[in-house]
Structure 1
């Protein structure tokens, strides 16, 4: 079956190193009919252009701190039937688009969202959720493997994450894209609410997986310590004005202030913030709330279709998956081998497992391969056994099978191999 043409939009500002890693991951997707559109500040454009495969990108310079406006620019530049979004501090599993786009074979599906793994590469950061008119998300139970197509009850929406979602382009055009009043935070949630209000169905796709690192920026430090909450306050107030009855807004505001106070106080107890940082953060939250209560609502964006056609990206994933296994001794040679195999077009995972019970971590490397570290006896899932007796060979094979459906399956099936 012919794959739908997909435009992948990446927005970046002030994080060229993260963007470079994200694009390196996108370049190795197993999907065969996608284009990559980068909307970034000058440092991001330079970082993207320096990559050896940059001639196949669509690069658009934009240097304003407004993720919604930047995404709308990307949508206007997109020539695919579906537009997918990923953040610059995220990296997709190789089969991300294969899984995320599959539900669009159903003409009733207007949007799709996948699952997101946190910075340790193991634990879920976000899975399936619904969201109400106050912007608060609630967990949903869905099939852990197959896509689940959902239409929410009135007043609610199916939550998709801005770092792992896709929407039909004609739907985005009809809805006016992202609301540019949301410079950051709740931008995709507002779109979810408008999709629900229009009666559109959303698919939740557990096997469409990205890893999200929470890179440092103006709002948080590298250790995730809060620096500024003004955009959270502002976007929350704008969101409530659009979706929440007036009588319920005071309670929503009180709940937000309470939650953010608990957050920064916990960070102070953890040694991440000083008392003055807590005061400044809460002051910025209140300033943002006041701004959001009074700022004019912005009209819908005008989404145009690009004139120069679809620019298909020739994926670098051209050869069968390879798995390498070793321990601390000889790891440098194995990493060099992994980098060389990735350069040749293989989807490579390197398991460096020590004879310990250390917890596992997974990282995508700038050289284009996946690295999983930890102990042979250690835990690789949050709810897994703390200690499991095994050998390096058996444990690495168990880990390979655990991730095969998101890292290997589509290339295996294209070449006649068994699916993971």
Structure 2
């Protein structure tokens, strides 16, 4: 009997060294074995990884160019796993992420898989199951978990399963054969282009709801920390490349008008909220159009197949993962609880701190820079946003409920 598939986790980072450290702490707590980690980052990012306890087990490559596709291809060159999983530097995976994300690949027909992404509050979903067409328009699809924990949507002409770059995995052989990511997409639509290429070659993509990643949308040269856009130039350029690669010529003008309308509406919403000024809206739209014109000139050459990995597989861990731990208490003991959680995390493995106040505050979940999961909120408040606005709980009852709620992705089945 063959063992589990080897997995390479590729993380690309630029201008976010502290976010990268946090991401790596989360990745280091994954239960799956065996996996390796490849980091492609600028100089500041690579320096930030140097004092991590597992730094000598990382594969690293430096890239100062602002091109996420080129960076991912550099990561693929280092990756020696049978599967390659991708996560962004401003994201953190649940400890069971790779266990669930890798499961569909037991079916040899599956070439790729994508999971669900939770947003800033750690509760609500940022993205779930979607299809994308050749104009770049996406459509949500309702799916269940499925008896095997995943679903493979049937092939449909002109449509592809939409995966997110911060939560997806592919067979290395398939990805290399397709030429990896297209460097013409310096940012945005790079994975969507790959989704359509997979579908065009008749390759199946699985949707894995329980493979969860928390994505924070950290600040970058293109957006502020509050997700307000700063520059749409590269978005416009990527749309030009995408539409001229995939969209029928008769539909391109209408598709581009839709993009412009959506971006303008997004900017106007920020204007109404006070986050932008009228001159900012004009500047953003000018950048979008300028980028589109620049994108039209980018190369449309076929992508050559990528070579075999340049280095052998280097697992991040040799030993099995320690069991997950729970720290829990009331708001009044918050400083002591945080200290307990930090000490437990320093010993290795996944730690979850539940801290409840006697309020109806909504709950939030985050992975702290100290390396532990923290859920805070009111004893009577909502965690799942579909819950009643106010519900009475005793502390022990609420704790049991929240452990059950996060038990599968956090690996807390025995707690």
Aligned residues: 412
Pick one of 355, 359, 381 that aligns with 1:356.
359
Deviations 1:86-109 (A, max 9, x none): 000000000000000011000000
How far has the Cα of 1:408 moved from its partner?
1.1
TM-score in terms of structure 2 length: 0.96
Report SS of the residue matched to 2:3: coil
Asked whether the 8 Å contact 2:78–2:311 carries over to 1, the reply is no
Q: Quick check: 156-165 or 45-54, which moved more? A: 45-54
Report SS of the residue matched to 2:286: helix
| Residue matched to 1:144 | 145
| Residue matched to 2:269 | 266
| Residue matched to 2:129 | 128
| CA distance, structure 2, for counterparts of residue 356 and residue 54 of structure 1 | 42
For 1:26-37, what aligned pairs fall within 5 Å after superposition? 26-37=27-38
How far has the Cα of 1:68 moved from its partner?
0.5
| CA distance, structure 1, for counterparts of residue 71 and residue 357 of structure 2 | 44
How far has the Cα of 1:144 moved from its partner?
3.4
| Residue matched to 2:255 | 252
Asked whether the 8 Å contact 1:94–1:408 carries over to 2, the reply is yes
Give unpaired runs (5+ residues) of structure 2: none
Q: Quick check: 277-286 or 47-56, which moved more? A: 47-56
Structure 2 residue 239 is matched with structure 1 residue 230: no
| Residue matched to 1:291 | 294
Deviations 1:311-359 (A, max 9, x none): 0111787322222211221211111111111222342111111111101
How far has the Cα of 1:301 moved from its partner?
4.5
Asked whether the 8 Å contact 2:9–2:37 carries over to 1, the reply is yes
Asked whether the 8 Å contact 1:231–1:288 carries over to 2, the reply is yes
For 1:39-188, what aligned pairs fall within 5 Å after superposition? 39-144=40-145, 146-188=149-191
Asked whether the 8 Å contact 2:116–2:211 carries over to 1, the reply is yes
Give unpaired runs (5+ residues) of structure 1: 413-417
Residues 70 and 101 of structure 1: CA distance in aligned 2, closer, same or farther (over 3 Å): same
Residues 89 and 7 of structure 1: CA distance in aligned 2, closer, same or farther (over 3 Å): same
Residues 291 and 316 of structure 1: CA distance in aligned 2, closer, same or farther (over 3 Å): farther
Pick one of 201, 206, 210 that aligns with 2:209.
206
Residues 236 and 315 of structure 1: CA distance in aligned 2, closer, same or farther (over 3 Å): farther
| CA distance, structure 2, for counterparts of residue 316 and residue 274 of structure 1 | 54
Asked whether the 8 Å contact 1:352–1:374 carries over to 2, the reply is yes
TM-score in terms of structure 1 length: 0.95
Pick one of 375, 399, 414 that aligns with 1:372.
375
| CA distance, structure 2, for counterparts of residue 175 and residue 27 of structure 1 | 29
Residues 92 and 150 of structure 1: CA distance in aligned 2, closer, same or farther (over 3 Å): same
